[in-house]
Amino acid sequence: MCGDLEDEEEGDSKLEEMLYARFVAHARALLASAPAPQETPADNSRYMEKLFTDALSRAVKDCEQATDDRRYERMIAQPVVFARLAGFLAAHMSLGEDPLRRVMEALMLGYSEAEALDREQRAYDHGDVAVRS
């Protein structure tokens, strides 16, 4: 019985390590493809992209500064903080802007970006296998 619990905890730990590694790989890929940093872009879409990359860079840095056994824990706390911030900011938008819809669309965009990076990695891995054959 005790051995089963240890095996389960080890399995959870391995899964957490894999999920954290996936996060770091995806974050680094997005940060590498980000446009060159500007101090304060005048264009609103560039400003939003800079704000996103600044926040993502900070999130990765904060996780990397945690001890190995706390990195996953820190990573899974971050969406809660960013969701709270999104809610706080959205509460100050005009209802005509449909703040909930905009926040939900952005949330779903983040999910789709992670899935797209997974698909790209699988395609790359599949290409590697074909080249080696």
Q: Where are the domains of the chain?
A: 2-132
Q: Which H/E stretch holds residue 29?
A: helix 2-32
pLDDT attached to residue 122? 79
What angle do helix axes 44-65 and 2-32 make, rounded to 10 degrees? 140
pLDDT attached to residue 7? 60
pLDDT attached to residue 2? 55
Averaged pLDDT, 17-33: 95
Q: Which H/E stretch holds residue 102?
A: helix 99-132
104 torsion bin: left (phi>0), alpha (psi -120 to 50), beta (else): alpha
Largest CA-CA distance found in the chain, in angstroms, rounded: 62
Q: Are 60 and 20 in contact (CB under 8 A)?
A: no
The mean-pLDDT minimum among 15-29, 51-65, 106-120 falls in: 106-120
pTM for this one? 0.79
Q: Which amino acid is at 101?
A: R
Rounded to whole angstroms, how far apart are CA atoms 128 and 133? 9
Rounded to whole angstroms, how far apart are CA atoms 13 and 123? 27
